[in-house]
Amino acid sequence: MNALHTVKDFLNIVQTKIGLVFAIFVPLLFTIVWMTGYNGATERISQLKVGIVNEDGTNGATIASGMTSQLPYQSELYTSLEQAQQQMDNGELTMVIEIPAGFSEQGSSKQQTQLSYYVNQANSDIAKSIVESSAPSISAAIGKEAFGDMQEQVVTTNVVKTHDIRNFAVSMLPMILGFVTYIGVMTMNIQLNLASMMLKRTRSKWEIFWGRQLLLLGVAVVGSLIVTSVALLFADTAASFWQMWGFHILVYAASIGVTQMAFALFGNAAPLFNVALIPLQLMTAGNIIPSAMLTPFYRYIGSFLPAPNAIQGYLRLIYNGAPIGSFVAHLLLIALITWGITVLSTALVKPAISPLTQPAGNHE
């Protein structure tokens, strides 16, 4: 029976109630968000986009035109392989199909010819698997359409993996730097919020606020420097150390801004808000499954969150050095807007009067 009384004592403590909410809320939230977001994703492969490059003149143009209507993906014609590959590096394309010079002539004379399929290894794992596995069937269909039924396979398949990184540890780096940074900052702000509540006894709200901002600025600069330096001991990246470090500072700043804003707006309920963003960020990051294959409601949410922008930026910095201007702009906006909301919320909050500072009663 003493145990039952102890349970009641536990339930009278606020932290126990919060812990129980987390135990149910977190798995429930992951279940709801992921089951609704990923629902039917593999049926939306038509949202993937491929580029077609024709280097076979007029005959190749006819084949390329037929491809656009037969492929199970969205497609776009490009005039050069370099242009198409640049678009793929920028994340606009999942695969590039090249019709080489002499393709029609070789096929018509029953000589073996081939289509080349370029797949950027910085794309999501699901997208790479889908387009790579479909390459042989595309070649067979194009061969039959262009050259009729042959006794032997005339059109062969050549899959070229661009920016291939064979070290699995390096392939995990975008997730480590982009997502785990958010987790670390979220945990830090929980502790800083508790420290701020203790300091209210001796410091004004603005002293606490600006002291906290200086501390967070130091974390963003020094923390990113340490983590980036250690990461680059194990990884050879397309981008320079300075690009990696500068981008990580922005990732820290955006993560700090979001998690700090939650405490300014929701107080002790802020951890629930910050944790609620975890499944959304994991799902919309685009490294597991392209955002285009998610249900429409979730496709663009990642643009407004730190980790998806960070992960997509790191995929380019690590694999191919493609431009990351849009992700830099998004992270800056997230950091500035959330910081502005925090400042405004802090200004509107009236500090509670401490019993020690209340005027003494008139005792006569």
Of the ranges 84-98, 248-262, 287-301, which is most confident?
Answer: 248-262
Closest by CA to 319, choosing from 182, 130, 124, is 124
Position 225 pLDDT exceeds 70: yes
SS3 of 71, please? coil
Helix (H, G, I), strand (E, B) or coil at 90: coil
pLDDT tens profile 264-286: 999 888 998 999 999 999 999 98
The mean pLDDT value of the chain amounts to 87
* Beta-strand pair 113-120/155-162: parallel
Q: pTM of the predicted model, to two decimals? A: 0.85
Q: What is the DSSP string of 202-235?
A: TS-HHHHHHHHHHHHHHIIIIIHHHHHHHHHHH-
- pLDDT value of residue 50: 93
Q: Where are the domains of the chain?
A: 17-38+168-348, 48-162
Q: pLDDT at position 364, please?
A: 44
Q: To the nearest whole percent, how much of the chain has pLDDT over 90?
A: 47
Helix (H, G, I), strand (E, B) or coil at 335: helix
pLDDT tier, 352 (very low <50, low <70, confident <90, very high otherwise): low
**Maximum average pLDDT range among 22-31, 146-155, 231-240, 339-348:** 339-348
SS3 117: strand
CA distances from 21 to 36, 90, 138 (A): 22, 41, 51
Give 106 or 48, the one with higher predicted confidence. Answer: 48
| Window from 1-15, 85-99, 263-277 with minimum mean pLDDT | 1-15
Q: How far apart are CA 186 and CA 262, in angstroms?
A: 10
The span from the CA of 312 to the CA of 286, in Å, is: 7
* Owner of token pair 């999942």: 94
Contact of 253 with 275, CB cutoff 8 Å: no
Considering the domain delimited by 48-162, tell me its CATH architecture.
Answer: 3-Layer(aba) Sandwich (3.40)
Strand residues in the chain grouped as ranges (E): 49-54, 74-78, 95-99, 113-120, 155-162
Best CA proximity match to 318, nearest among 266, 254, 247, 262: 247
Reported as a single tens digit per residue, the pLDDT across 46-59 is 889 999 999 988 88
Residue reference for tokens 């009236």: 350
